[in-house]
Structure 1
Amino acid sequence: MSQGGAAAACKAAKPQDRGWAWMVLFAAVLLQALTLGFPSCIGVFFKDLQHEFQASNSETSWFPSIMVAVLHGGGPLCSILVKQFGCRFAVMLGGLLSSVGMVSSSFCKSISQLYLTAGFITGLGSCFSFQAGITALGYYFIRWRTLANAMASTGVSLGFTLWPLLSQYLLDDMGWRNTFLIFGGILLNGCVCGAIMRPLQLASDSIAQSPKPGTQPGGSAEAAQLSNGASAPHPELQQRSRGAACFHALQKYLAFDIFCQNKGYQIYTVGMVWTMMGFTLPHIYLVPYAIQNGVEEQRAALLISIIGLINIFIRPCTGLLSGHRIFTGRRIYLFSLAVLLSGLSNFICVISAEFSVLITYCIILSVAMSGVGALTFQVLMDVVEMERFSSALGLFTILESITLLIGPPLTGLLVDITGDFHYVFYTSSFFQISAALFMGIGFCMLGEKNKSKEASKIPLDESSRYQYSEVPTQPQPESQPPPAVVCITSI
């Protein structure tokens, strides 16, 4: 590299951890409020949508389920998009899709059309914006990356606080169709956040965005062979090469090999998939449950905002607490305790639907949610090697999205049959309590098994290379290049 090129590269790398990086962090906070915080307001429209389309609880709950499932399960697709076109393009495309989805929803004539517009299109746009925004944040911050991610996660709590209040205010004055139209304009601000996340040229003189389409590694040899005039490979060889490429892509984005070999990853993934069957149920059905029991609509919407407001303060504290050395090697048990508390808190709603009792429930639930949200991906980093974290996360989020999709509609069907909203909280408690016990006992047994192996000095086999262990994360030096693209979802 020439002296001029080196000087230009160093000058371009200056925004890392300073200057424009803090504007990118501000944009990431807004993105999380616009994307992850947005589904929290859906419960406000539940009754109006039921009356408009004459739909049951199960039918109405499908569209927020689809939205949340696509938001979580679109990680591998977002990763491919970021590699091909860069973070800025993915964030702006996500903002555009989210806006188009909500504007289209305001003209829907049936609940099934709402599944496509507000559910799939808006959910996919939110996935692109959120995950690409977090990836861009990883490029701009190296030394202060942990702090930046913690600060960015406060956007989720901010969205939980503001979206329900804004939704109820607009719904009372304008109706749900005009409110969805306004939401389309608000979500379009994701494009503005994407514009702030300009590509970053690193000190190594490489641009922090992926190569252009058509320059993918792996196809270069065949392309060179064809360009040199060589004959095309035999059809059978072409089919085998396509199969190998497909298997390599699955291996890269979906870590089936880790799932088969790593017992800790198996336990954690199964436990979290089971947890998600009941984790989102209170967020969807709490407002309709409160309204059915005589709580005013404005006060019912305030319940979700209380959960988000408390999360703003509790979640960072939970993150700091879990980083203490006393929890080293024990974070999974702290996480299981948070899931257990979330499940047990649902019994408060069963006891009484008084507004004061529901506020108590929201306070306890928000504390539990803070623990789950702060530790979900930290525990996953503890369980798998960081070199394979991206692919392990891809499989993790896809499996998680399946239960996020089917949990609320199945529970809504149960409510339709029984006519009793109490079954929402019974179901949520069952899945979360059983999952917490499964993960806690499973990792306890796994730890005892590893200790017995070490005591007997039995050589570890290949499947034991990925057992549960924790290594404190040290700040990376500024000269170290940023990590590969990692798709991250949050709760």
Structure 2
Amino acid sequence: MSNNVKFFKESLGNSMEELDINNQKSNNIIEDEFNVPEIQDGGWGWVVLAAALFIRIVMVGVYASFALFTKDFTAEYDMSPSIMSWMISMYSSISLLVAPIGSFLGEKYNYRRVSIISLTVAGFVYPSTYFYPALWYTFLTASIIVPFLHGLANICVNIILSFYFDKYLPIALGVFASGNGFASFIITPLMAVIINNFGWKLSKPIYSLLYVLAVLAALTFRKVKAKKTDNKMKAGYEVSKADDLSYVFISRNSRIIRFLSLPNVATIFHKNKENKRVFISLENIFSNKKERKNRDFDSKDMTGSQLVVINSLSKMQIGKIVDNNESSRDNVTKTKRYCELLSKPVFILFLVSNLFSCLGYDTSYVYAKDRALELGVSESQATSILTCLGIGNIIGRVAFGFIGAKKGINRFITYIISSITAGLFILMSKVAFSYPFMVTYAIGFGIFIGGIITLGQVLLLHLLKISDFSHALSIMCIVQAVGLLAGAPISGFIFDATKSFEWPFVYCGIIIILSGLVLTFAYLSKEFRKSGKCN
């Protein structure tokens, strides 16, 4: 009997000692994992934002300057505009599709390092056609390698901004996105001057000097000092662990809601009313499964800042949640979920709308100068049309960002009106025989096409459950890439057939108008009308 008691005491002592060791290890994990970068929301972050904006302008400037090369390329290589259009369309689609690769490489090897290497290599590759101007090599560098590198750098810079901003993150991301418009506004006239003075071939080595400045700008992305998170978040972690729930391991290289995973946003997104910071409740991650399954999420309940953050997150894979119980909690396979999404009529209509708008998107930027020259304006005035497109794009992105973030605004109708209006402005080019009318249609189209881009992903979030958002977004990105890949070449084929840039613009206007009109068929769905998504 005494031996049994002795054995029991020894066993109990060993168990308690082992439990203490495990608890100590768990506490170390908590202390270690909750060392997160200190978000400055200003200070050096503004320097980083300025550097990021400059990098964006340099990268987008390559795309914006394609329109300046069209005439020289077709003459140099004796090719039709339709062949030239393939270069632009491939650039657009590749730079879009490469984003997941950039996110993966940045997570694995450091975002700053990947962005610097990408910009450095692009700075060498882009001007290399001056030394070897073969057509196949020009295609390879300008339409495949350079956009691939730009896509890597772009996604990494997006994520880097999230290390420096929290409260002002929507502003930072909005300023960064406006680099597209600034590129048309700044780079287009700059490249026009360089081409006029040095020729189009030498313009590339000269432009590559901007890559040197872009790499120097990327050096400002210094490491952010770490600090401890608040006790409430840490307590939430300990509560979930104490209840025998799965551990959540936070990715140290990610920021914008440290452990946000897009497929899981539906059940864990809410606002901290005390410090106004968006964060994830660890306790809610593993809340009752039935309650979580039935809980829906409506973008109408989100603030403007939250919508902008979600809109920016959609281009990135920012964080990971390692969840051992994920497979048991979600019995629907990815394949089945994609099939379910593709069975939704409204989602199909939205994809068709995106396809149509992307088919018409590049034409105005690629052929705007040629169309203006065809109508008899001077070279400098024709170049300024591209600048006007950039100005309109900046206004549109900012204005529709505010409009879409306001409560009570019908985003669905706003998106339809924006699409139709953008198409009408392009059709206006058919009768824009004077320079003032050309400026009007360019600025008008820039404003409303900027609105389409800004509202597109917010509308997707509005139409679907947020738990389906990442899957729907991946499908949408593929559709957009297909549209961008085919859009400019179709316009080129129309030019080859008609020998005029008038009809490619007519096609562009009609297809963008259809992108808005096709969404009106959603009202035929009884389920859509009852859901309130049309309001």
Establish whether TM, by shorter chain, passes 0.5: yes
Residues 106 and 8 of structure 1, relative CA distance in 2, 3 Å threshold: same
Contact 1:139 1:208 in 2 (8 A): no
Asked whether 1:172 is paired with 2:196, we answer yes
- Residues 469 and 450 of structure 1: CA distance in aligned 2, closer, same or farther (over 3 Å): closer
1:293–1:353 CA contact under 8 A, matched in 2? yes
Structure 2 equivalent of residue 143 of structure 1: 167
Matched, 1:126 2:150: yes
Rg larger for: 2
- CA distances 1:362-416 after superposition (whole Å, capped 9, x unpaired): 1211221231232122223323444554444333222211221121112212211
Aligned to 2:117: 93
| Number of the residue aligned with 1:482 | none
What is the CA–CA distance in structure 2 between the aligned matches of 1:35 and 1:450, rounded to whole Å? 40
The number of residues matched between the two structures is 413
State the AA in 2 paired with 1:395. I
Q: Tell me if 1:408 matches 2:488.
A: yes
Distance in structure 1 (CA, Å) of the matches to 2:486 and 2:384? 27
Q: How does 1:46-125 map to 2 (within 5 A)?
A: 46-125=70-149
Whether contact under 8 Å (1:93, 1:128) holds in the other structure is no
Pairs within 5 Å for 1:386-405: 386=466, 389-405=469-485
Q: How much identity, in percent, do the aligned residues show?
A: 19
Letter aligned with residue 344 of structure 1: L
- The 5 A counterparts of 1:246-257 are 256-257=338-339
Which blocks of at least 5 consecutive residues in structure 2 are unaligned? 1-25, 230-248, 255-329
SS at match of 1:196: coil
2:395 is the counterpart of 1:351? no
RMSD, aligned CA: 3.1
Distance in 1 (alpha carbons) for counterparts of 2:468 and 2:223: 25
- 1:257 positional shift: 4.8
- Aligned counterparts of 1:94 and 1:9: Cα–Cα separation in 2: 31
Q: Name structure 1 gaps, 5 residues minimum.
A: 211-247, 455-466, 471-491
2:528–2:534: 8 Å Cα contact kept in structure 1? no
Normalization by structure 1: what TM-score? Answer: 0.76
User: Where in structure 2 are the equivalents of 1:153-232 lying within 5 Å?
Assistant: 153-200=177-224, 201=226, 203=228, 208-209=252-253
* Aligned amino acid, residue 372 of structure 2: A
| Offset at residue 314 of structure 1 (A) | 4.1
1:252-271 CA distances to partner (integer Å, 9 max, x unpaired)?
A: 89973563355443332221
Amino acid at match of 1:300: A
Query: Quick check: 1:285 aligned with 2:329?
Result: no
Matched, 1:437 2:461: no
Aligned counterparts of 2:227 and 2:347: Cα–Cα separation in 1 = 34
Question: 1:354–1:370: structure 2 CA closer, same or farther, 3 Å change rule?
Answer: same
Please say if residues 392 and 446 of structure 2, whose CA atoms lie closer than 8 Å, have aligned partners that are also in contact: yes
Contact 1:346 1:361 in 2 (8 A): yes
Aligned pair 1:18/2:42, yes or no?
Answer: yes
| Residue pair 1:76, 1:394 contacting (<8 A) in 2 also | no
Which segment is superposed worse, 83-92 or 422-431?
83-92
2:376 is paired with a residue of what secondary structure?
coil
* Aligned counterparts of 2:357 and 2:396: Cα–Cα separation in 1: 21
Equivalent position SS for 2:65:
helix
One-letter amino acid of the structure 1 residue matched with residue 426 of structure 2: N
Aligned to 1:306: 388
Instruction: Please give the alpha-carbon distance, in whole angstroms, between the structure 1 residues aligned to 2:42 and 2:370.
Output: 46
After superposition, what is the alpha-carbon deviation per residue over 1:283-329, rounded to whole angstroms, capped at 9, x for unaligned? 101101212332221211111112212333443222112212121xx
Contact 1:74 1:398 in 2 (8 A): no
What's 1:473 paired with? none
Structure with more relative contact order (C-alpha pairs < 8 Å, separation 6 or more) = 1
Give the structure 2 partner of residue 364 of structure 1.
444
SS in 2 for 1:282: helix
Q: What's the CA shift for 1:37?
A: 4.5
Give the Cα–Cα distance (whole angstroms) in 2 for the partners of residues 278 and 314 of structure 1: 17
Structure 1 counterpart of 2:412: 332
Q: Tell me what 2:398 maps to.
A: 316
Distance 1:135 1:256, change over 3 A: farther
1:277 deviates by 0.6
Q: Which moved more, 1:370-379 or 1:383-392?
A: 383-392
Cα contact 2:39–2:166 (8 A) shared by 1: no
1:273 Cα deviation after fit: 1.6
- Answer whether contact 1:59 1:111 (CA < 8 A) is retained: no
Kept after mapping to 2: 8 A contact 1:199/1:209: no
Q: Is the 8 A contact 1:82 1:90 kept in 2?
A: yes
Q: Distance in 2 between matches of 1:50 and 1:428?
A: 22
The residue type paired with residue 493 of structure 2 is L
One-letter amino acid matched to 2:527: K
- Say if 1:311 and 1:271 are closer, same or farther in 2 by CA, change over 3 A: closer
Moved more, 388-397 or 171-180: 388-397
